[in-house]
Structure 1
Amino acid sequence: MEKNLFREVYKQVCGLALKDCPPSSLSGLLHGYLSVYSMVRVYPWLEDEYGSLWDIHDRIREIARIIQELLKDKDLPVDTRAGYVVDLMDAYLLYSDVKFLDSALDVAYEILIPKGSDKIVLPCRTPNICRLLCNCYYFTGDVECGMLAKNLVTETLGVSRKFSCMELGDWWWAIRAYESVIGEMDVFIEEKERLAGGRMRLGVSVEQIEDEKIEDFQQNGSDVCLIAKAFDILARREFAVCNEFYSKIE
């Protein structure tokens, strides 16, 4: 059922004129395409179904260039701008254009270090800022960014039951980003286990939230932001299904 729905969404997304898409849809579109790219790269015979790696790669580059332009607007809310920075960094991991990374890091530290200061000051305590700190740690080895991200995650796990559905979903991905770099940091095994346990509990709720987003899309499928959200979710799930299916064959 979801596979057929994913194919339907993918056709819709491939037909979108990216320059006309609202900025709020770009992150979902980008990460959906990143999942599709990974899926086709690992299972190249899927090119017949989802297009060539080059075509998918070109689509990702187009989204990244739009995001790069959006970053130039210093009047954007700081959390929104931080989200664009993280998206551009994520795109760089595939499309290794150092200009993307340089632009993202310049804006990242512009956000984190107030003008006239030489110290990091968190402008807000949001999932985007947490992901920003994680990516800065990943790309620069800035230990302070890693420790600040750790503090935000610890704080979040303590109050996660108070979050709205949207906040819960956003923090889920911030915690996943943190987990992807925590292995590089000097932390106790007990802390890693506590983090993993907290993430598993959140995961159940997040899956329910994602199911609701897909249902919402099915009822209001003409909204580009809903299409982008559904694309991101379904692409990740399809990749996971492929991994499970083909691992059994091997």
Structure 2
Amino acid sequence: MWYWLLKYVLLGPLLLLMGRPKFEGGENIPANGPAILASNHRAVLDSFYLPLLVRRRITFLAKSEYFTGPGLKGRLQRWFFSAAGQVPIDRTSADAAQDALAAGVRVLGQQKLLGIYPEGTRSPDGRLYKGKTGLARLALETGVPVIPVAMIGTDQMNPIGSKMWRPAKVTVRIGKPIDFSRFEGMGGNRFVERTVTDEVMYALMQLSGQEYVDIYAATLKDPKPDDVAEGPAVAQAPDADRLPDTQAG
């Protein structure tokens, strides 16, 4: 219930007003059945605008720390991420990548849409970075279609270092599903996993118009376990300095 209230009542109207979003290619998302929505990652708002514009509910994998914080802030954060339909993943464990993969398989097994950011973290400069192969492992294990998603303009509305959201034109562009059935039974082959991942990243480059950089985005940041793990990328919570500057926030 809270997911739909956030989408249509509590948060969605504000996002529609500030971003005036344009939605392209919605017909490429199946009306039912599982699929992986593989998106470029420009800003925290990517995780808000994609569910806002897609009719079906989307599940993202989120860091478990967002569900375990102390005090009132922790409870509010836990409520928000639970209401948004996100699944906690412990990214500090030795089996973090496998745990994320298992969680993704479970979500897809429930015939749901799973949102993934192959880059593993937000782009630090607006360019598109090398994808991690957790996406390919998940696609090859489940056999579900991978649908590329280009987020455009969210980094202008939610720029790095800004203390507020700024009105900006947002576009969400959905590409045609990519069928990797030709690689059936080849999961675990590193060459195949890289081939699948690179094909998805090429589709994202074509959809988004971003310059592609053949290095991991995390290498430009302080390396952390949650950035370098090769499991399916998890959604990130808004940083404290990247929330909308409103009294209600």
Is the TM value for this pair above 0.5? no
Structure with the larger strand share: 2
Which structure has more helix as a fraction of its residues?
1
Q: TM-score, structure 1 length as denominator? A: 0.25
Question: Which has more radius of gyration?
Answer: 1
TM-score, length of structure 2 as denominator length: 0.25
